[in-house]
Structures are given as structure tokens and as C-alpha cells.
Structure 1
Amino acid sequence: MDFPKKGINFRDIMPLFAHPKIVDDLCKAIAQHIRTSVGEINAIAALEARGFLFGPMVAILLGVPFVPIRKKGKLPGQCLQASYMKEYGEV
């Protein structure tokens, strides 16, 4: 698809949210995968914004806290920071 730039294969997942059963099944499958492949965890951490769509639901299913990871400058006060690479640029 070459979006947002050449070589990137972007997939729009938003249409999934028109189907609550599919979203529920997906979150349950992710939670089950974590249970069987990872084992016990302390929390689910997810990057904004797409990670915020599934992260809280999976955390609830696993009975653990959800830790939202925000971009620099989005929260007041002192915060932990780290740089990371996205598929189409560094943040």
C-alpha cells in the first residue's frame, strides 16, 4: 500500500470496531496467547494511540493494570522518557 510512505504496509484496523464480537474474540485470543506463551505478568503496557484500543481490554481479561505509554510532551510534570523507532521514523 506504501502508506504513509513507500515500503510501509499500513492496515486500517478501525473497521473491526463495528463488530463487538470480533473485538471481544480478538482480545480473548491475545489474553490467552499471553497466558500460554508468556505466563504470569504484572501489567500490560501499550503505546498510544493504537495500543490504547486493545491494551486496556486485554489487561482487564488478565486481571492486571494497564500502563499507557504516551508521547513526549503529552503529560505535565516529570516523566520517564525513551526514544524509539517507528516503521517510518524516530520518535
Structure 2
Amino acid sequence: MDLKSLIREIPDFPKPGILFRDITTLLRDPDGLRYTIDSLTQKCKDTFPEVDYVVGMESRGFIVGTPLAYQLKAGFIPVRKPGKLPAEVHSIEYQLEYGMDRLEVHKDALQPGSRILIVDDLIATGGTAAATAKLVQQAGCNLVGFGFIIELRDLGGRGYLPDVPIVTLIEY
């Protein structure tokens, strides 16, 4: 299946000069969604045979991560923006191209020694994924790898991630 044909390109979003790859058009297509989750599941099963938890970042990482965790027979752990989680959290501040941001995860969600797969819809500059990896590692978990639907290769995001396998379905 040609997944690129199901992804809408929006120029100058969220700011001038950016070509935004919008997966909402892929998600609304039943065959495209099924193919995406099935393909990502198979690649992850082949690359990461043992995963205890899939960690997905707000918000599109939730969309990808939850069905992937189900297929991998793993639990799902959400990583959220500040103030969204009700219990005690681990948090990490990280640099964006236009400022700082912070991510949080419940302290009791990450059990030391757990095998963690981090997933999101897209890797661009790698900042969010790298920050999530630090959260996971600071909690004493074993990061087994990353999974993304899309990788924007020219932005070099994988170079900022820990040296673990990375699975992607589409490259631009």
C-alpha cells in the first residue's frame, strides 16, 4: 500500500517554510490505518521480540502506541505534557526549536528493568523522542528501541537518539 498517498501535505504549518505531514487523512482511511498498524506491528515484532511496555508521547503517539501495544501483548504508558497526569510524575525539560517544553510520566508507570519501546507518528528533529528516552532511562528501564510511521531524514532526528534500533514505515 502506498501510505504516502494517504498523508496530506500542508505547506507553511505551523509556521512559514514548514511542510507539515498530516496523518489524520491516513488515520481516517480504514485500510490505511489497518495496514499502518499491522505493518508497524510486524516490523516491531521482528526487531523487538520482547517488549513489556510501549510508551507513546502526547498526542499522536497515543493513537499509534495503544493498538501497537495491544498487538505486541504489551502495556501502554502515556507520556504527557505538564499538568495532565494526576499522580506523582517524573518530568524532563527539553529544548524545542522555538523554546523549552516539558514531558511527564507517572512515577509508578515505569518499573525498573522493564523493556520499553517508544513510539510516535513521526520523527523530525528528535527532541521529543530523545527527551522521552531520557525519562525512560532515568526510571531504570531498558530502552529497546523506537518505532515511527514517518521519518523526516533531512532533519537528522535519529542522530539525537540513543543507539538502539529504530523502525520506520515511510521516509521523506
- TM-score range (shorter-chain normalised) is 0.7 to 0.9
**RMSD (Å) for aligned C-alpha atoms:** 1.9
1:18 equivalent in alignment to 2:28: yes
1:71 maps to which of 81, 84, 90: 81
Distance 1:72 1:2, change over 3 A: same
Count of matched residue pairs: 91
1:52 equivalent in alignment to 2:62: yes
SS at match of 2:18: coil
Runs of 4+ in structure 1 off by over 6 angstroms are none
Instruction: Give the distance between the partners of 2:97 and 2:57, measured in 1 at CA.
Output: 14
Instruction: Give the distance between the partners of 1:22 and 1:87, measured in 2 at CA.
Output: 31
TM-score by length of 2: 0.47
1:8 equivalent in alignment to 2:18: yes
Instruction: Give the distance between the partners of 2:51 and 2:41, measured in 1 at CA.
Output: 11
Identity percentage of aligned residues: 36
Which structure 1 segments of 5+ residues have no match? none
Task: Pick the structure with more strand per residue.
Answer: 2
Instruction: Give the distance between the partners of 1:24 and 1:9, measured in 2 at CA.
Output: 25
* The 10-residue stretch of structure 1 (61-70 or 80-89) with the greater mean CA deviation from structure 2: 80-89
Aligned pairs for 1:22-37 (under 5 A) are 22-37=32-47
TM-score by length of 1: 0.84
Q: Which structure is higher in RCO with an 8 Å CA cutoff and minimum separation 6?
A: 1
Deviation at 1:51, TM superposition (A): 0.8
Deviation at 1:31, TM superposition (A): 1.0
Task: Pick the structure with more helix per residue.
Answer: 1
* The 10-residue stretch of structure 1 (27-36 or 9-18) with the greater mean CA deviation from structure 2: 9-18
